[in-house]
Chains A and B, each alone.
Chain A
Amino acid sequence: MSDKVLLSVEHVKTYFDVTKGPFSRKQIVKAVDDVSFTIKEGETYGLVGESGCGKSTLGRTLVQIYRATEGRICYKGRDISTLTQNDRKEFTREVQMIFQDPYASLNPRMTVGEIIKEPMEIHKILSTSREREERAAELLKTVGLKPDHIRRYPHEFSGGQRQRISIARTLALNPKFIICDEPISALDVSIQAQIINLLKEIQENMGISYLFVAHDLSMVNYISHRIGVMYLGHLVEEGDADEVYENPIHPYTKALLSAVPIPDPDKAREKKRIQLKGELPTPLNPPSGCPFKGRCPIATEACEETRPELKDYKGHKAACFRIQT
Chain B
Amino acid sequence: MMTYTEQIEDSMFDKLEESEKDTEFIAMESKTYLKDAWDCFKKNRLALAGLIFLLFMVVLAVMVPVLSPYTYDSQNLDVRNALPSMAHPLGTDKLGRDILVRLMFGARISLMVGFVAAFLNLIIGVVYGGVSGFMGGKTDMVMMRIIDCIYSIPSMLYVILIMMVFGSNIGSVLLGICVSSWIGMARQVRTQVQTLKQQEFALAAYVIGAGKLRILFKHLIINCMGPIIVSTTLMVPEAIFTESFLAFIGIGISLPQASWGTLASEARSVIQSYPLQIVWPVLAICLTVLSLNFIGDGLGEALDPKNR
Contact = CB atoms under 8 A, between A and B. Distances in A.
A and B interact physically:
yes
Interface of A: 60, 63, 65, 89, 92-93, 96-97, 99-101, 104-110, 118-119, 122-123, 144, 146, 149, 151-153, 155-158, 160-161, 166, 169-170, 173, 194
A109 B223 CA distance: 7
Choose among A63, A93, A156, A166 the residue with the greatest number of B CB atoms under 10 Å from its CB.
A156
Interface string B191-214: 000000001110111111111001
A145 to B, nearest CB: 8
Contact of A119 (B32, B209, B223): B209
Contacts of A194: 22
B205 A107 contact: yes
Contacts of A151: 30
A175 to B, nearest CB: 10
A165 to B, nearest CB: 11
Contact of A173 (B200, B201, B206, B208): B208
Contacts of A92: 207-209
B28 interface: yes
Contacts of B33: 109, 153
B203 A156 contact: no
Contacts of A173: 208
B208 A101 contact: no
Interface in B147-161: none
B88 interface: no
B39 interface: no
Given A108-B223, A152-B26, A153-B30, A65 B207 contact: yes
Given A123-B209, A156-B28, 11 more contacts: A92-B207, A93-B209, A96-B207, A107-B222, A118-B210, A122-B208, A144-B23, A151-B30, A153-B32, A153-B33, A194-B22
Interface string B94-130: 0000000000000000000000000000000000000
Contacts of A96: 207-208
A105 B201 contact: yes
16 contacts: A63-B207, A65-B207, A92-B209, A99-B200, A99-B203, A108-B223, A109-B225, A119-B209, A123-B209, A144-B22, A152-B30, A153-B32, A156-B26, A156-B30, A157-B26, A166-B204
A99 B204 contact: yes
A97 B223 CA distance: 22
Contacts of B204: 97, 99, 105-106, 166, 169
B208 A169 contact: yes
Nearest to B29: A156
The 7 closest A-B pairs by CB, nearest first: A92-B209, A105-B200, A119-B208, A99-B200, A104-B200, A107-B201, A97-B207
A160 B208 CA distance: 21
Contacts of A118: 205, 208, 210
A122 B200 contact: no
B50 to A, nearest CB: 26
Nearest to B199: A104
Contacts of B24: 158, 160-161
Interface in B207-253: 207-211, 214, 218-219, 222-223, 225
B305 interface: yes
A119 B206 CA distance: 10
Contacts of A97: 203-204, 207
B209 A65 contact: no
B69 to A, nearest CB: 51
B222 A109 contact: yes
A87 to B, nearest CB: 12
A108 B305 contact: yes
A169 B205 CA distance: 10
Contact of A104 (B22, B201, B209, B222): B201
Contacts of B28: 155-156
Contacts of B308: 155
B166 to A, nearest CB: 41
B251 to A, nearest CB: 43
A117 to B, nearest CB: 11
A108 B208 CA distance: 17
Nearest to A97: B207
Nearest to B26: A156
Given A144-B22, A152-B30, A156-B30, A65 B210 contact: no
Contacts of B219: 107
A149 B26 CA distance: 10
